[in-house]
Amino acid sequence: MPPNNFTFFLILFFLVWVEIYAYQATKTVISKKKVSTQKWIKGLYLGQAIAVFGLMLYLRFSQYGTVTFSFLVSFVFMTYTAKLIGLVFVFIDDFRRVIRWFFDRKRARREREKMAGKRIPRSQFLARTAVVAATLPIATMSFGIVSGAYDYRIRRRKVFLPNLPKAFEGIKIGQLSDIHSGSFFDKTAVEGGVNLLLKEKPDVVFFTGDLVNNETKEVNEYFDIFSKVKADMGVYSTLGNHDYGDYKRWPSVAAKRQNLRDMVEVHERLGWNLMLNENTSLQQGGDKIAILGVENWGAGRFAKYGKLDEAYLHAEGDVKLLLSHDPSHWDEQVRTTYSDIDLMFAGHTHGMQLGVEIGDFRWSPSKYIYKQWADLYQEDHQYLYVNRGFGFLGFPGRIGIYPEITILELTSSPV
């Protein structure tokens, strides 16, 4: 969601300070060059600063969530991340020089004279180190766009449910979440991800919301790909916070309502069973599993369209599975009131598309926002699985937290 005007101009003011500080560091780096070269580099720096500020103003009034928007925002983000990292070294040097000036101005001057002509002064060294350090985030984020955006990973988990009916022993559930079709820029890669899911031959598929970024028509170009998502026991879906059109400026309330009706129709045409605060059952012989689906319900500022009491009403099955987009719903309502919901499927966090996963170790800035942000969680006899997302939003790539296809197997035998 784009920031409000006050926040935007506060950010702008901070970035003006960053530009001024970075400009001073640039002058230090080029101080030994010819005067004509210095003028050329200074002009180039000031030109890019003006261009980036102009770009930010353009983005402020552009459509949030489009492919173009994502790439331009990423460019601005990479630019200032690089500068901020570089300025850490400049700040260290400034702090060092202030301390030396404070304690011994004369000795500091003698040492500078002694070192002249023999090696690079330390201020020059740190300024140049800042330039090198500033290239690292640009290289990393560029790699995340080129390599990480469509590097689909299959995550396999088994969940022990002692009350699982025998007819459903070993049932294989495929989960997709957070497709965000309006962000894609490589149709062939998207199709490859869907084919990975289909090769797993899941018995049933769950989609846990955010088919688009802002408006239903974003999925049109990818409709033929996602219409291939089928399973013997069906595909069941629900809506995420982005599917309601809440982040777009609509010309009228009627237009926004029509967009939501279009979203419901798209799910129907895809052949997906969209569950809006309701439930159904999977049946094998005389055994049943209940599937509940709620509209988006998120803690804090996120929309609370979900009505779990309605979805739960008359749900029949020895096991109850819940589709709910936002994982915060689990602690806020599910565990506190509905202790017989065995397993909830969610998405929403994307793992912030940034982090580290090595073996069982997982870290992402997302953990400071969401208690449950990726993979399988258990409290007492209840489980939550948080999918890392199939697509991406904002930053058009992923670094360390890769797009996910979940294959989850239910068993009545201890894992």
pLDDT digits (tens, 9 = 90+) for 196-249: 999 999 999 999 999 999 999 999 999 999 999 999 999 999 999 999 999 999
Instruction: Name the pLDDT band for 79 (thresholds 50, 70, 90).
Output: confident
Long-range contacts of 139-147 (CB under 8 A, 24+ apart): 140/399, 141/74, 141/77, 141/78, 141/81, 141/395, 141/397, 141/399, 142/78, 143/399, 144/353, 144/354, 144/395, 144/397, 144/398, 144/399, 145/74, 145/395, 145/396, 145/397, 146/397, 147/397
CATH 3.60.21.10 residue ranges of the chain are 151-411
Mean pLDDT over the full length of the chain: 86
What is the per-residue pLDDT for 102? Answer: 62
Instruction: Name the pLDDT band for 394 (thresholds 50, 70, 90).
Output: confident
Instruction: Name the pLDDT band for 50 (thresholds 50, 70, 90).
Output: confident
What is the per-residue pLDDT for 14? Answer: 78
What is the per-residue pLDDT for 385? Answer: 98
What is the per-residue pLDDT for 47? Answer: 83
What average pLDDT score do residues 11-27 get? 74
Q: CA 151 to CA 189: how far, in whole Å?
A: 9
Instruction: Name the pLDDT band for 330 (thresholds 50, 70, 90).
Output: very high
What is the per-residue pLDDT for 285? Answer: 87
What average pLDDT score do residues 291-299 get? 97
CB 401 within 8 A of CB 364: yes
Q: CA 92 to CA 70: how far, in whole Å?
A: 33
* CATH number among 3.60.21.10, 3.90.1150.10, 1.20.1370.20, 1.10.760.10, domain 151-411: 3.60.21.10
Q: Which of 68-72, 142-146, 183-187, 373-377 shows the highest mean pLDDT?
A: 373-377
What is the per-residue pLDDT for 120? Answer: 45
